Amino acid sequence: MTQTDYMSWRMEADPILRSTIVAVAVLDRVPDWPRFVDMMERGTKRVPIFRRKVVTASVGVAPPRWVEDPDFDLTWHVRRCTLTEPGGWDGVLNFARTTGMAAFDKERPLWEFTVLDGLGHHRAALVMKVHHCLTDGVGGMQIAREIVDFTREGTVRADDAEVVVPDDGRRPGPIDGLAWYRDMTGRIVRGVSIGMVRGGEGLIRRPADSFRRSVDVVASTMRLTRPVRTTLSPVMRTRTTRRRFAVLEAPLEPLGRAAESAGGSLNDGFLAAILLGMAKYHRVHGAEIPALRVTLPISLRTDTDPLGGNRITLARFALPTNIEDPAQLIREVHAVVESWRREPAIALSSHIAGALNLLPPSLLGNMLEHVDLVASNVVGSPVPLFMAGSQIVRYYAFSPTLGSALNVTLMSYTSHCCVGINADLGAVPDLETLTDSLADGFRAVLALCSPAPDTATVSVP
C-alpha cells in the first residue's frame, strides 16, 4: 500500500472513521445476469487489485501488502437480490446504507457488488461497495471505465489483461518490515540529499528566498496537519456509527453556468450551495453560524498513475455560512479553495501521510472528528454507460464521513449532478430537513443562471 492507502486502512481502529465508499447506479432495466457475471470476471482481470487481499506485517509499522487471493471467489463478491415490499427507492437507499455500515471481511478482496431488482418500472439498482484504500473517487471512475460497456450491445475490447502472477500469499514478517524501513530510509536520505544540494545552491544564490520558502513549507505543513479541538457547528456535534443516505439532483450545465457567472467553477458553485443549505439547516435549529469547517479531498492523480489506490490529500478549512448572496459566496469560496490548492505542503502529502502513519490512530481521529462536513466533487462519465444490456441512468456516490457529521458528494454523470448525502444519524437525526435545506441551497445558486431550473428532486425519476 501507499502511505495514503495505509492511512485509510489504519483509520478503522476507530469505527467512526470507517473508510467505506458506496455507490449506487440506477439501471433502466434488470441486467442480464450471465452477461453481468462475465463482465465482472473480465473486469477483475483487467483491474487485478479486485482479486487481491490485504496482508499485514506481524510486527512493525510497515504498510500492508496487496497479494493475490488464492481463494478468490467471484460469486462471493457479486450478488443479486430482490427488494422486499414496499421496495422502491427507499429500499435501495436502506440497503445501501446498511451495506456501508457493515465492516469488510478483511480476509477477502475489499469490494462487493449487489444487483437489486424490484425497483419499479422494470428498473434495477447496482450497489457497489469498496474500501477507500482500494481507490478514491477519481480512480473509481477510471476503474469503472475498464469494466462497463459503452453500448447496450456490449463493447469490443482488446484482449483481456492477464492477472498478475500471484504472490506467495504469506504475511509480511520482520524481514519484510526491515526491508520497508531500509527502502523508506533510503528514499528519505536521497530526497534530503538532493534537497540539500538544491537548497544549498539556492541558499548561496538567493539566501533570503530559500529561507522564506523553507518557512512557508513548515507553516503550510502545520496548517495541513494541525489538530481540531471542537466543531464550529453547535448543532451537529454527536458522532456515532449509524448512517443514513439521501440524494439530490441538479442539472450539470446550468449549475456550471451559474457558478461561472459569479466568477467561480462548478466546484465553487457546489460548495456554495452546500453552505447556503447548511446555514438554513442551522437556522431551523435556532443557530446562526459564521462558518463551518470542511474537509475537501484534493486530487493529486496524474495520467501516469496506475489504476486504484488513493491519489488525494485532505485539506481542512473553514468556509463562510454568513454570506447570503450566492454570487458573493461563490467568489469567497473560490478564493479560499484556490489558496489551499496552492499550499506548499500539498505536494508533500504522501510524506506527511507517512509521518502520520507512525502516530497512534487516535490522533487521526482528533484531526478529523471535529470537522463539520466533507464535500467531494467527482468528475463522472460525460457519456452513457451500460452494464450487461442495462443503461445507467443515474450514478450516486456516498463517500465516508471520515468522522464528520456528513459527507456530500457530487458525481457528474452525462447531463446530471447526482448528489449523494451520507449523514451520521447522531449528528443529523432529521435528514429530511437537511436534504430540503440543501435543495434550497442549490436553488439559490441555480437562480444565478437564466432561466433558473428547479432542483427539488430528492428521488430517482
Name the average pLDDT for the chain.
84
Taking residues 400-429, report their average pLDDT: 96
CB 426 within 8 A of CB 241: no
Q: Other C-beta atoms within 10 Å of 217: how many?
A: 15
Residue 149 phi, psi dihedral angles, 5° rounding: -105, 165
Q: Which residues of 66-90 are buried (b: 16+ CB within 10 A; e: fewer)?
A: bbbbeebeeeebbebeebeeebebe
Percent of all residues in the chain with a pLDDT value above 90, rounded to a whole number: 54
pLDDT over 60 at 101, yes or no: yes
Please write the tens of the pLDDT for every residue from 255-265.
999 999 999 99
Confidence of residue 461 (pLDDT cuts 50, 70, 90): very low
Q: Which three cell numbers stand for residue 42?
A: 473480465
| pLDDT for res 164 | 42
Taking residues 200-212, report their average pLDDT: 53
pLDDT over 60 at 211, yes or no: no
Closest CA relative to residue 314, chosen from 236, 248, 228, 426: 228
| pLDDT for res 212 | 61
Please report which helix (H) or strand (E) contains residue 297, including its range: strand 291-299
Confidence of residue 354 (pLDDT cuts 50, 70, 90): confident
| pLDDT for res 215 | 64
Confidence of residue 329 (pLDDT cuts 50, 70, 90): very high
| pLDDT for res 86 | 72
CB 106 within 8 A of CB 97: no
| pLDDT for res 192 | 38
Taking residues 367-378, report their average pLDDT: 91
Cis peptide before 429 (omega within 30 of 0): no
Instruction: Choose between 318 and 450: higher pLDDT.
Output: 318
Confidence of residue 293 (pLDDT cuts 50, 70, 90): very high
CB 133 within 8 A of CB 8: yes
- The answer to whether domain 243-382+390-446 has CATH 3.30.465.10 is no
DSSP one-letter code for 312: E
Confidence of residue 318 (pLDDT cuts 50, 70, 90): very high
Alpha-carbon distance of 34 to 298, in angstroms, equals 38
| pLDDT for res 227 | 74
Q: Taking the domain 3-147, which CATH number applies?
A: 3.30.559.10
| pLDDT for res 294 | 95
Percent of all residues in the chain with a pLDDT value above 70, rounded to a whole number: 83
Strand partners, 248: 419
| pLDDT for res 208 | 57
Alpha-carbon distance of 132 to 123, in angstroms, equals 28
Please, what is the Cα angle at 265 between 260 and 270, to 5 degrees?
105
Q: What value does the CA radius of gyration of the chain take, rounded to a whole number of Å?
A: 23
Helices 266-284 and 252-261: crossing angle, nearest 10°? 90
Q: How far is CA 2 from CA 53, 306, 311, 326, 343, in A?
A: 15, 12, 9, 40, 22
Alpha-carbon distance of 381 to 332, in angstroms, equals 29
> What stretches of 69-173 show up as alpha helix (H) in DSSP?
74-77, 88-101, 137-147
Alpha-carbon distance of 228 to 341, in angstroms, equals 20
Strand partners, 421: 246, 408
Alpha-carbon distance of 301 to 410, in angstroms, equals 18
| pLDDT for res 213 | 62
Q: How far is CA 377 from CA 380, 396, 410, in A?
A: 9, 11, 5
Write down the residue that cell numbers 526491508 correspond to: 179
Taking residues 286-305, report their average pLDDT: 86
Write down the residue that cell numbers 523508506 correspond to: 184
Write down the residue that cell numbers 437480490 correspond to: 81
Confidence of residue 60 (pLDDT cuts 50, 70, 90): low
User: Taking the mean position of all CA atoms in its chain, how far away is CA 124?
Assistant: 24
pLDDT over 50 at 316, yes or no: yes
Choose the weakest-confidence range: 2-11, 54-63, 190-199, 214-223: 190-199
pLDDT over 60 at 202, yes or no: no
Instruction: Choose between 461 and 416: higher pLDDT.
Output: 416
Write down the residue that cell numbers 512557508 correspond to: 216
Q: Which three cell numbers stand for residue 388?
A: 450487461
Q: Residue ranges per domain, the chain?
A: 3-147, 243-382+390-446
Closest CA relative to residue 145, chosen from 39, 218, 51: 39
Instruction: Choose between 187 and 340: higher pLDDT.
Output: 340
pTM of the predicted structure, to 2 decimals: 0.85
Confidence of residue 250 (pLDDT cuts 50, 70, 90): very high
The span from the first CA to the last CA of the chain, in angstroms, equals 40
Quick one: residue 64, left, alpha or beta (phi over 0 = left, psi -120 to 50 = alpha)? beta
Confidence of residue 216 (pLDDT cuts 50, 70, 90): low
